[in-house]
Chains A and B, each alone.
Chain A
Amino acid sequence: MVSPVLFWIIAAITVIPALSLLFARKAVHVAMSVVLVMVGLATAYVTLGAPFLGMVQIVVYTGAVMMLFLFVLMLVGVDQREDLKETIKGQRWIGLFTAAGLGAFLVSVVGRVSIAVADTPAVGEPDVVAIMLFEKYVLVIEVLGFLLITAAVGALVLTHTPRLRPRRTQLEVQRDRVLVGADPVNKPMPGVYARHNALDVPALDPQGEPIVHSVSRVLKVRSQTQEGEEFRAALEDPSRKEGDR
């Protein structure tokens, strides 16, 4: 028999996070709540004498399936807004009523049933499950193998995008850069070549002039740069030390 305390804990950590499917705004929150539901269900499996299935549940659902959901969420953008206009009039109330009716119907029917519980629980240890899977249900396992391969190939086909334009090679990129008159080589690094070892100081060319474009554009926009004049003055007047500024 199952301890009532354990049952109520499992009920709490499955039903309450599952409600976020209906009420949470952000899809990421929903995904994380469903992860919690899956952990709760794994606990229930272990409680009901299916330790192997419980572990598989954690590995497959919380580890693989829900993380796949999160990957897809990141791919399509976490900020996808849900449009709230109803295409079918009163769809929300019809849906809520139907689902609540289904729940009430199932609970009332199941609540009326009484089945004698077996005295000796069948514990689904891995070896027991394996013998069952590969003796009695070996054909089903083969069919499931076909199904998994088909699903993998199907996913590849569905997400495949054919290349519409030929690939641009490095040679073509370089040729285009020269044709538009861009710098054929890298820009000079800031500060490090002259007297300073800092990114916010422009490099000095051999004549001692600051090279303006050696400092990152971003620093200029944030006005976090230093002008080269002070350093040039220090160069021209050796008596003045740089630390005086």
Chain B
Amino acid sequence: MDPINFVILASILFAIGAAAVLLRRNAIIAFMGVELMLNAANLALVAFSRIHGEIDGQIMAFFVLVVAAAEVVVGLAIIIAVFRARQTISLDEPAELKG
């Protein structure tokens, strides 16, 4: 089976992640949607690495993995800070901050 099918699979996963970010109000679930989008991009990178027979795509995916880990740490810390201040993790609550 052609490895390009994995890129199609990655597109579907990316769309699901984007839908989760757009639709869900729970900050943690929306954040998991972001993670899913990053992983979909990783899958596409690895699939392209297989298609071209070069290892660079896997290295790129590895870098994305590291950046995603750093992003998760900071993102969850922000969620905890918001929760401490407002006792909620709904994404709509901080919108009340605007004037």
- Judged by a CB distance under 8 angstroms, whether A199 is at the interface is no
> Measured between alpha carbons, how far is A106 from B2 in the docked complex, in Å?
17
> Measured between alpha carbons, how far is A148 from B19 in the docked complex, in Å?
29
Select from chain B the residue with minimum beta-carbon distance to A57: B65
Asked whether A80 and B36 contact (CB < 8 A) given A103-B12, A147-B67, the answer is: no
Kindly state the interface size class of chain A when it binds its partner. Answer: 35 or more
- Contact check, A99 vs B15: say whether CB atoms are below 8 A apart: yes
- Judged by a CB distance under 8 angstroms, whether A207 is at the interface is no
> Measured between alpha carbons, how far is A120 from B52 in the docked complex, in Å?
9
Partner of A22, one of B19, B51, B80: B19
Decide if the interface of chain A is mainly helix, strand, loop or mixed: helix
- Contact check, A144 vs B7: say whether CB atoms are below 8 A apart: no
By a CB distance below 8 angstroms, the chain B residues around A38 are 39
- Judged by a CB distance under 8 angstroms, whether A212 is at the interface is no
Q: What are the interface flags for B34-60 relative to A under an 8 Å C-beta threshold, 1 for contact and 0 otherwise? A: 011001001100110111111110110
- Contact check, B9 vs A129: say whether CB atoms are below 8 A apart: no
Q: How many residues of B contact A (CB 8 A)?
A: 72
> Measured between alpha carbons, how far is A137 from B31 in the docked complex, in Å?
29
> Measured between alpha carbons, how far is A91 from B30 in the docked complex, in Å?
15
Stretch from A152-160, A183-191, A214-222, A225-233 at the B interface: A152-160
- Contact check, A76 vs B80: say whether CB atoms are below 8 A apart: yes
Asked whether A69 and B70 contact (CB < 8 A) given A18-B16, A76-B89, the answer is: no
Q: What are the interface flags for B1-41 relative to A under an 8 Å C-beta threshold, 1 for contact and 0 otherwise? A: 11111111101111111111011111011011101100100
- Contact check, A83 vs B66: say whether CB atoms are below 8 A apart: no
Asked whether A133 and B72 contact (CB < 8 A) given A14-B9, A61-B39, the answer is: no
Partner of A82, one of B4, B24, B35, B72: B24
By a CB distance below 8 angstroms, the chain B residues around A132 are 55-56, 59
CB neighbors of A among B49-91 (8 A): 49-56, 58-59, 61-63, 65-74, 76-81, 83-84, 88-90
Stretch from A48-56, A173-181, A234-242 at the B interface: A48-56
The interface of chain B, by Cβ under 8 A from chain A, is 1-9, 11-20, 22-26, 28-29, 31-33, 35-36, 39, 42-43, 46-47, 49-56, 58-59, 61-63, 65-74, 76-81, 83-84, 88-90, 92, 95
